[in-house]
Amino acid sequence: MVKMMTIDELPKGSVFCSGQQEKIKQFVQFFKFCYVPWWLTAPVSAAAPSNDILLINSLIHYRNLDRLCADATMKAFSRHMWYLTEELVPLVLFCGNVRVEAKEEMVKRLRSLDQMVCSKRFGSGFGKPVFSQRFQKIQ
């Protein structure tokens, strides 16, 4: 089990002023509520699509605690969603953390779509996809 240090457990002299102490508290709070759950499951590729959605939802809730940090993190994260394409989203069907009902609904919707080659790619069909506005700006 991972043990989180408290401010009191830091060696004497580690925190020089009250401003530093507050920044350390903010960092630990963000790390604990948003970053750790997402990071621990990051190596599981099948969980990547649902983990990213969970991170975004965590950041939306985290706005109540620290709006500046949450907004900056969402802005940075939105620049790294280029890999979340329609070819990779179905990986979530192999994720153990997603309810069976959600997977069934996803399969139903996928089957209802017209089968076509992805037209949102540059050149020969490979490369960075073009996203709608909702992926470029998360608010």
Domains of the chain by residue range:
18-112+124-136
Whole-number pLDDT of residue 26: 85
Whole-number pLDDT of residue 137: 38
Whole-number pLDDT of residue 100: 92
What is the pTM assigned to this prediction? 0.61
Distances (CA, A) of 117 to 32, 85, 111, 114, 120: 41, 13, 15, 10, 9
pLDDT by 10s per residue, the chain, length 139:
455 556 667 676 676 677 787 888 888 888 888 888 888 877 888 888 888 888 888 889 999 999 999 999 889 888 877 666 777 778 888 988 889 998 999 888 888 877 665 555 545 455 555 554 444 334 3
**Short-list 24, 49, 25, 27, CA closest to 38:** 49
